[in-house]
Chain A
Amino acid sequence: MSIFDKLFEKTARSAAQKGSRRGFIRGLGAALVGAGSIPLLPVARAADGGQQLPQDNRLPQDSEAGDPASCDYWRYCAVDGFLCECCGGTYNTCPPGTEMSPITWIGTCRNPVDGRNYVISYNDCCGTTQCGSCLCQRDEGDRPLYRADKSNDVNWCLGANSSVYHCSTAIVVGLAFEQ
């Protein structure tokens, strides 16, 4: 018997002993359903594909650490409000039943993992009463109301259909330019 025959026989017998045909079908099914459901996951309206500018591609997905449900997570450096991550949404998305305000204020936060500064858009989620969970007030880079575009004391739901504030997101929209 050639060496290949031995090899294939051994592999085939081992596969037959260790796995079942139903197990394979189960795995295949899970993979198909799983892959199919990925596009159904909630995605921030503010991060809609067609409206992205080129620099938005350079995002820190692979090089960040921390708990997005914790106030000390790096993206929240200038947050003043409830974290959507604790309110049924995520740091990028609004909870169901709320609307993301398209008008917002924008600052920068330093990602401790790669040491770079990123531009963060603090879009508020609006339309239902205050979430009440994970109150977070860090205010780094927050400016007084006379610099309204850099102030987190403004009710940024003024741009939404309802001006009732629910929670805050922290969406990375690009790399900061290091002067």
Chain B
Amino acid sequence: MRVAMMKTLAPLLMTVLPLSSLWAAESKPPLTAEQREQRAEFNYKMFCRGCHGPAGEGEKAVPHMNGFVGHFLKFDAGRDYLVQVPGSANAALNDEQLTEALNWIVLNISGDSLPENFKPYTVEEVARLRQDPLFEAFEFRKKLLNDMLQQGIIKELPDQPLK
């Protein structure tokens, strides 16, 4: 009888135990807003700063973002572009962390270019847009900058990089 019970229990335990450990992993407390901001800043440093610079100032062929990146959020194609640009879409970050990093950049590096009605990117929006990454970003950016100029979002084209 006891042996029979063990025979029944053993597979049951084998099923339940891994499930319970999975449950334990998932029950890790969710990150606080402050921790999310720290993670976003860390990801900026790990995946963006190397080329875009400590404060998004850019260099040579790397676009500057400080005081400018917010202009892209003033029209739909620009908002999509910030997700579809290779540095975003191809980053080794999951959708949640890419969304955090993008919102962090926009809120911390835009300066005066940040539109007053800025709505933070949502994870769903970023997940959808990054499925369709830009293969050619440079000419596309140039086109967007000219669109901005025509729509009166910017008064003149930025110095770099436009070659």
User: Which A residues are closer than 8 A to B by beta carbons?
Assistant: 46, 48, 50-56, 102-108, 119, 121, 147, 149, 159, 173-177, 179
Contact = CB atoms under 8 A, between A and B. Distances in A.
What 10 A-B pairs come out closest when comparing CB atoms?
A: A177-B42, A51-B55, A102-B59, A51-B54, A106-B50, A177-B39, A119-B45, A104-B50, A103-B51, A55-B41
Given A103-B51, A177-B38, A53 B59 contact: no
Majority DSSP secondary structure for residues of A touching B: mixed
B155 interface: no
Contact of B108 (A53, A159, A176): A53
Contacts of B49: 106, 121, 173
A176 B41 CA distance: 9
Interface of B: 35, 38-39, 41-43, 45-47, 49-51, 53-55, 57, 59-60, 62, 92, 108
Q: Looking at A53, A177, A179, which has the most chain B CB atoms within 10 Å of its CB?
A: A177
Contacts of B42: 55, 119, 174-177
A119 to B, nearest CB: 5
A54 B46 CA distance: 16
A56 B92 CA distance: 23
B53 A51 contact: yes
Given A55-B38, A177-B38, A105 B50 contact: yes
A159 B55 CA distance: 16
B136 to A, nearest CB: 18
A159 to B, nearest CB: 6
A54 B55 CA distance: 11
A102 B55 CA distance: 12
Contact of A53 (B43, B54, B92): B54
B137 to A, nearest CB: 15
A149 B41 contact: no
Nearest to A149: B50
28 contacts: A46-B54, A51-B57, A53-B41, A53-B54, A53-B108, A55-B38, A55-B41, A55-B45, A56-B54, A103-B50, A103-B60, A103-B62, A106-B46, A108-B46, A119-B45, A119-B46, A121-B49, A121-B50, A147-B92, A149-B47, A149-B50, A159-B60, A159-B62, A173-B45, A173-B49, A177-B42, A177-B43, A179-B39
